[in-house]
Amino acid sequence: MNSIKKLGLLLLGATLLFAVVDCKKPEAGAATGSGKIITIVVDGGGDAVNYNSTASMVKSDANPYPYNELEKLAKEYSDANPGVVVQIAEVSRTNERDVLVPLLRSKKAPEIIFQNMGMYKNSEVGTDYIVPVTKYLNEPNPYVPGNRKWSDLFIGPWFKVTQSMDGEYRFVPIDSIPIGIIYNKDLFAKAGITKEPETYQEFDEVLDKLHAAGITPYLPIAAWYNLFIEGSLMADKVDELDVLTKDGVLDAEEYARAYEKGLLSMKDPRITDWFILMKERTRYYPTGWQQADVITAFVQGQIAMIEALGVHMRMINDDKNRKFDVGTFPYPLVTTETSRFGTSSVIRGNAGYSTCWQITNSAVENGCKRQF
């Protein structure tokens, strides 16, 4: 069994298990159409990822990433569970909250959906829209031999962040986001750079070398590295300030509380260091950089390094107009060489779980004997 299929079985099969466990059992003859059929609709669309099957499996410029794994797994699950039919939604509504919420209210949404955990972690608290799966995550995953507790299969700190403010888990995470810097190997060689930077200090030196060689060193697509640096410098304050929603994350309300109570201020040396490092990295930005199409400029060889998510790295790697080799590296660590608040105890190369699977109230409405 290949790794993609294992991933899919963990993702689809075990999640579907939640939707049918303790449901009304198909009557005799269900497989031949004379009895009860349980239909499970899966909306595989998401935030940065779309698992819905493509119309064609032929790779082309218009269809660069053909995909039908979810469709194959749905058929496999249906074949293994007579009386259960899994359908993949042809049109995704997951990103259209103005469409999705009315469907959830009327219990007519797909039984399984795919939402951005960071945006909607607490949106359904206090409603019956999404089925809490906390109790099931504490039970064995039958698709992983020897597993005793399904939640053990996830990366602890990232998994904890998917917990809603009422203590329940409403997401089944599987989609993690690679994040870091993609660079032009040819421009690095031209500037005499032979080593990918591991620390912010080394990254700073790389900027100088590229600039000295007449090369635009670096531009961000978004401010992700700034957030990484902030997290690095504030790491020692998390335990003290993470009190309103104890989840290992300093959210906006907890930051506001910290400033209001004098636990943080704009004069805090951590904040000062953060602003200095943000400003330092802009010193070689070209004129009019705010209007730049960063990915296009990179592919054309005009920029040596850009920040990127996995989707950007894949696009750039597949771009037929690119005439140079590319490499990637995680965000350089902010060590004590750069700031006294620097630390190496941070996770690099991944932004954690983002878009995750959920079971809607339709799964309860459409045949289960007990409320989850």
Domain assignment of residue 249, given as a range: 177-352
Question: What are φ and ψ of residue 351, in 5° steps?
Answer: -95, 10
Would you say residue 293 lies in a domain? Answer: yes
Whole-model pTM?
0.77
Give yes or no: residues 238 and 128 share one domain. no
Q: Cα-Cα-Cα-Cα dihedral of 93, 99, 102, 104, to 10°?
A: 10
> What pLDDT is recorded for position 8?
44
Give yes or no: residues 154 and 220 share one domain. no
Q: How many CB atoms lie within 10 A of CB 138?
A: 13
Q: What is the CATH number of the domain that holds 213?
A: 3.40.190.10
Confidence of residue 278 (pLDDT cuts 50, 70, 90): very high
Round the average pLDDT of the chain to a whole number and report it. Answer: 83
pLDDT above 60 (res 1): no
Confidence of residue 283 (pLDDT cuts 50, 70, 90): very high
Q: What amino acid occupies position 306?
A: I
Question: Mean pLDDT throughout 154-181?
Answer: 86
pLDDT above 60 (res 246): yes
Q: What amino acid occupies position 104?
A: L
User: Would you say 319 and 296 are in contact if contact means Cβ atoms under 8 Å apart?
Assistant: no
> What pLDDT is recorded for position 10?
43
Q: How many CB atoms lie within 10 A of CB 349?
A: 12
Give yes or no: residues 183 and 295 share one domain. yes
pLDDT (tens digit per residue) in 124-157:
999 999 989 898 889 888 778 898 998 888 888 7
pLDDT above 90 (res 333): yes
Give yes or no: residues 166 and 193 share one domain. no
Would you say residue 371 lies in a domain? Answer: no
> What pLDDT is recorded for position 346?
81
Question: Mean pLDDT throughout 320-324?
Answer: 93
Give yes or no: residues 235 and 308 share one domain. yes
Among 78-92, 128-142, 160-174, 198-212, the minimum mean pLDDT is found in 78-92
CA distances from residue 176 to 143, 310, 332 in whole angstroms, order as listed: 20, 9, 20
Provide the number of structural domains found in the chain: 2
Q: How many CB atoms lie within 10 A of CB 11?
A: 24
pLDDT above 70 (res 25): no
Q: How far is CA 364 from the centre of its chain?
A: 27
Give yes or no: residues 333 and 219 share one domain. yes
pLDDT (tens digit per residue) in 5-20:
444 444 444 454 444 4
Query: Number of helices (H) and strands (E), helices first, in the chain?
Result: 16, 10
Question: Mean pLDDT throughout 247-252?
Answer: 77
